[in-house]
Amino acid sequence: MSLTPEEIAYYQANASDDLRPNQIAACTCGIAFAVSAVVARMISRRRSRVKLGWDDYAVCVALMGQLTYACLMALNVANGEGLHIIFVKDQRLFAQVYVAAIICYSITIMLTKISVLLFYHRIFPIKWLTVVSYAVGVLVIAYNLAVIFVAAFQCIPLSTLWTGKPGRCINATPPFFALAIVNVVTDFAILALPIQPVLGLKMRTRRKIQVLSIFLLGGIVCIFGVIRSVALSTMKSTDLSYNTVYSGIWSYTEISVGIVAACMPTLRPLFKSRRDESKYAGDSTYGSSRPFARWKSSLARSSASKGTDEGDIPLTGTGRSHYMYASDIKAGQVEDTQTPIDPETRRPRRQARGNNYKFPPPVRPSPIIKQTVIPQL
């Protein structure tokens, strides 16, 4: 894009304008927080002996996208981004990195949100929540593909951006702003999804508030998404090396905070004692072939311990503890002993009829009750 003499004179008179320190600070903090959160998530999974799932893999790939975005930002900072356009060393490289950063942002934010939705699907296997999660996931994928499409075809041919040769170009700011609004809407939708399932659990109100507060930390991402949308709406298409800095910083901050928020609900084992950990950690099977049975088992467990913290959602692991609950015991069945079960009370007859009860001759025990996996964060 050709510059007028007045624009060139203005840029020369304001040569001291420099936003590169802001970019370096945002990049450094973003890497530190995002990498720390993902590493802590992996340590949490290992400590609770939980097999990694698709939500864990998705957030790891999102972290790689975030680090790639940081590398692109550093490359453009070294090339002169943060200064006025006349001070950029290589205009061709700047335009290429600019397009690559937009695509990298879209892929990263998409994977982060998909990771959160997969996490919801695993711990809350409820039909309506599954349907809504899939719908939101499709919307997230669709609008991010639209962002990539606009970035890749804002000029035909795209090389017009860095060669200056004749071509057909559009002002990409309006479509980017419209898609940013959709991004914020999906942020709020994802934030609201776990509220009703958590409120429906039978546990102390204090525990509900604590669990909800962990999920609602994602509201910080919504705030940064709104700030980014405002920055895009006020961005001018001229002097891109200077005017796009703030939208780039907020974009990077949004994906970094998003990764941290996606990892927060999984970090409980790092703050629990080994005694508490052994209470919730079971086998390392990830998920169950009967998700609705898993959900009912969780509700039965929380109902049996209503008014105590044992009704809480275990924030780690996927295995059930070794305790046997009355809701799982059928008449005449035992777990690993030959103690008869009273068909009326569904308790061992020693408990139902006193300690002086004389047991009948030993009989062949029924098959061991298959332990049911409950949803764990």
Copy the structure tokens of residue 190. 């994802």
Q: Is residue 364 part of a domain?
A: no
Last residue of a domain, one of 233, 256, 271: 271
Q: pLDDT by residue (tens digit) across 177-211? A: 888 899 999 999 999 998 888 888 777 888 888 88
In a domain, 157, yes or no: yes
What pLDDT score was predicted for residue 291? 41
Who has greater pLDDT, 311 or 350? 350
- Is the bond into 157 cis (omega within 30 degrees of 0)? yes
Do 196 and 306 reside in the same domain of the chain? no
Instruction: Quote the number of domains for the chain.
Output: 2
Choose one of 256, 271, 286: the last residue of a domain. Answer: 271
Q: Where in the sequence is the domain holding 209, given as residue range(s)?
A: 5-271
Pair 263, 336 in one domain? no
Lowest pLDDT segment from 68-77, 120-129, 161-170, 294-303: 294-303
Which tops the pLDDT comparison, 331 or 173?
A: 173
3-state secondary structure of 81: strand
Task: Report the C-alpha gap between 271 and 275 in whole angstroms.
Answer: 12
Domain boundary among 214, 242, 271: 271
Instruction: Report residue 22's pLDDT band, with 50, 70 and 90 as the boundaries.
Output: very high
Within this chain, do residues 205 and 317 fall inside the same structural domain, yes or no? Answer: no
Concatenated DSSP letters of 76-110: HHHHTBTB-GGG-S-HHHHHHHHHHHHHHHHHHHH
